[in-house]
């Protein structure tokens, strides 16, 4: 398989075959993200053919495919549908295709096109909401609003595509922490995804977010403030039958459960951590 740079994939795709269809991100302007800053966005058409040849011969034990890098869904529909048809034809044992999909990428496709991709095997989209607060989204240059995020989620729901949404604790700084938590919970409720993943922002040197912290324009919340943010977010998330994960390595407290069934248990765990009766993850053990 031909890979360029550092591949980034969701934790739940650990046992998937990774096909690197593109490099980089077509937007690449979010202030907190340093994943693709020096990587031009391009379609790896020539390498994809050889990777499919390799997978056809050596990757029969995989039944799921994750298409990397961070912005495959933004490709024109004709290219995407061709890629999906090749996977279906040459790797017929693959049952599920997943990828990262920004709100912008979902908007670039019609409902009919999204439904056709679903029929061709698209099962799961991972989307970064980050925050449901418009002021926070603007401050990190997300290029989206809470309303546009809701519309993209409505599209995936209409096509019966599994939607996994990521939110970022701490992204609002201390000053907007409470508003960020409440509004994010409300937007998550409206989006009604099948999965929610909460990560904690870790400023990366070289990003505008990191520079803003160095200039004292943003003050990161303390660990107790982050726990209160997480609690508020959960309290204001009314979506039901949703997998909720806050077990990423960036988090100070690991949680996992299903909303609304396990909500009380997870809130109780946060209270225990706030009271000091449940230990937090040590700083040196946190990572992206």
List the CATH number of the domain containing 173: 3.20.20.70
Query: Between vectors from CA 288 to CA 218 and to CA 161, what angle results, nearest 5°?
Result: 100
**How many structural domains comprise the chain?**
1
Residue 196 lies in a domain: yes
Helices 146-158 & 177-191, crossing angle to 10 degrees?
20
Residue 76 lies in a domain: yes
Residue 225 lies in a domain: yes
* pLDDT tens for the chain, residues 1 to 288: 999 987 889 988 999 999 999 999 999 999 999 988 888 999 999 999 999 999 999 999 999 999 999 889 999 999 999 999 999 999 999 999 999 999 999 999 999 999 999 999 999 999 999 999 999 999 999 999 999 999 999 999 999 999 999 999 999 999 999 999 999 999 999 999 999 999 999 999 999 999 999 999 999 999 999 999 999 999 999 999 999 999 999 999 999 999 999 999 999 999 999 999 999 999 999 998
- Residue located via tokens 């929610």: 196
Q: How is 90-126 classified by DSSP, letter by letter?
A: H-TT--EEEEE--HHHHHTS-HHHHHHHHHTTEEEEE
Residue 6 lies in a domain: no
Residue 26 lies in a domain: yes
Stated pTM of the model: 0.96
Q: What pLDDT is recorded for position 70? A: 82
Residue 145 lies in a domain: yes
- Beta strands 195-200 and 162-169 are parallel
Residue 229 lies in a domain: yes
Residue 280 lies in a domain: yes
Give the domain extent around 235: 11-285
Contact predicate 230/246, CB 8 Å: yes
Q: Who's near 53: CB < 8 A, 6+ residues apart?
A: none
Strands in the chain per DSSP E = 17-20, 22-23, 42-43, 64-68, 96-100, 122-130, 162-169, 195-200, 242-245, 256-259
Structure tokens at 4: 């360029």
- Residue located via tokens 């309303």: 147
């Amino acid at each position: 398989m031909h890979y360029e740079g550092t591949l980034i994939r969701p934790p739940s795709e650990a046992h998937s075959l990774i096909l690197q269809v593109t490099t980089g991100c077509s937007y690449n302007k979010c202030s907190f993200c340093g994943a693709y800053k020096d990587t031009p966005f391009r379609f790896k058409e020539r390498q994809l053919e050889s990777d499919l040849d390799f997978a056809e011969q050596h990757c029969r034990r995989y039944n799921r495919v994750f298409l990397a890098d961070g912005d495959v869904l933004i490709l024109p529909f004709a290219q995407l549908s061709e890629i999906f048809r090749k996977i279906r034809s040459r790797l017929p044992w693959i049952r599920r295709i997943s990828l990262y999909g920004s709100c912008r990428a979902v908007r670039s496709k019609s409902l009919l096109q999204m439904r056709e991709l679903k029929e061709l095997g698209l099962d799961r989209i991972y989307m970064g909401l980050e925050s449901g607060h418009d002021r926070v989204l603007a401050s990190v240059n997300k290029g989206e609003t809470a309303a546009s995020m809701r519309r993209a989620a409505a599209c995936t729901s209409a096509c019966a595509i599994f939607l996994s949404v990521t939110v970022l604790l701490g992204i609002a700084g201390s000053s907007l922490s409470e508003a960020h938590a409440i509004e994010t919970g409300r937007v998550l409720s409206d989006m009604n995804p099948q999965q929610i993943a909460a990560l904690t922002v870790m400023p990366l040197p070289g990003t505008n977010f990191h520079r803003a912290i160095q200039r004292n324009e943003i003050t990161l919340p303390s660990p107790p403030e982050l726990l209160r943010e997480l609690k508020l977010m959960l309290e204001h998330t009314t979506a039901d039958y949703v997998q909720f994960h806050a077990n990423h390595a960036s988090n100070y407290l690991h949680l996992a459960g299903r909303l609304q069934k396990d909500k009380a248990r997870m809130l109780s765990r946060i209270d225990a951590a706030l009271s000091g009766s449940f230990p937090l993850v040590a700083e040196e053990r946190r990572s992206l």
